[in-house]
Homo-oligomer: A and B are copies of this chain.
Amino acid sequence: MDDDTRTTRWERRTELPLVVASALFFVSYAIRVLGHALPEPWPSACVAAMLAAWAVFAVDYAVRWRLSSQGPRFVRTHWLDTVVLILPLLRPLRVVKVYETVQRRRGRPRLALHARVITYAGLAVSLLGFAGALAVFQQERTAPDATIHTFGDAVWWTCATLATVGYGDVAPVTPVGRLIAVGLMACGLALLGAVTGSFSSWLLQVFADEGNEKPPGG
């Protein structure tokens, strides 16, 4: 109970710094990848900022491990945190919690279930897609026979992949780029399925409600 309280207190206190560190990591990575032609001070500064953000994540993970007093089991019971520590680009998946906290603080009423799933999953898909486009672009930019030449191509490829359309006019050719692509397919399809599914069921519900509210003679 005491551990739990201390964990809760830690989480409340680190919330804001973690969001700032996540945003810092994300923005630094974007500048690093997109501004590959910038002069020297920039790339090093970006790498330094990314490492600093990563250090914040590692400290947070270590403290929470300590507070949990779970021992090695913590790595498995908090597997999402572990994955996010290794691949900080997946942090956007945690945006859901932040968004909800902000909405509650501002005293806004909670959205209906469908609206929340659509909002959260849509938000997470957008951020994950942007991160994936950045990572694929970094891998493919310098490959000799690449079809993804600009960041616009990478974003276009990401959208076609997440919608499972897959034109194939541009596609990754490097092994690492393809590995990222497979991860993007797996993550994105599941989340997109949630969005589409809840949008459809919301649509069906709207039509059903309309049918009940207005009698045929109305």
Contact = CB atoms under 8 A, between A and B. Distances in A.
Interface string A108-139: 01100100110011000000000000000000
Interface residues on A, range: 35 or more
How many copies of this protein are present in the complex? 4
Interface of A: 109-110, 113, 116-117, 120-121, 147, 152, 156, 159-161, 163-169, 171, 173, 175, 178, 181-182, 185-186, 189-190, 193-200, 203-204, 207-208, 211, 216
Nearest to A168: B167
B163 A189 contact: yes
Contact of A194 (B182, B190, B203, B208): B203
Given A166-B168, A193-B197, 5 more contacts: A117-B203, A152-B175, A167-B168, A167-B171, A193-B199
A191 to B, nearest CB: 8
A159 B175 contact: no
Contacts of A204: 113, 117, 194, 197-198
8 contacts: A113-B204, A113-B208, A116-B207, A152-B178, A166-B167, A193-B196, A194-B203, A194-B204
A169 B199 CA distance: 30
A211 B113 CA distance: 8
Nearest to A147: B169
A159 B182 contact: yes
B216 A110 contact: yes
Nearest to A167: B168
A208 B112 CA distance: 10
Contacts of A156: 178, 182
B166 A211 contact: no
A117 B207 contact: yes
Given A117-B204, A196-B193, A185 B159 contact: yes
**A-B residue pairs, 7 tightest by C-beta:** A167-B168, A165-B166, A168-B168, A163-B185, A167-B171, A169-B171, A193-B196
Contacts of A175: 152
A169 B166 CA distance: 10
Nearest to A173: B169
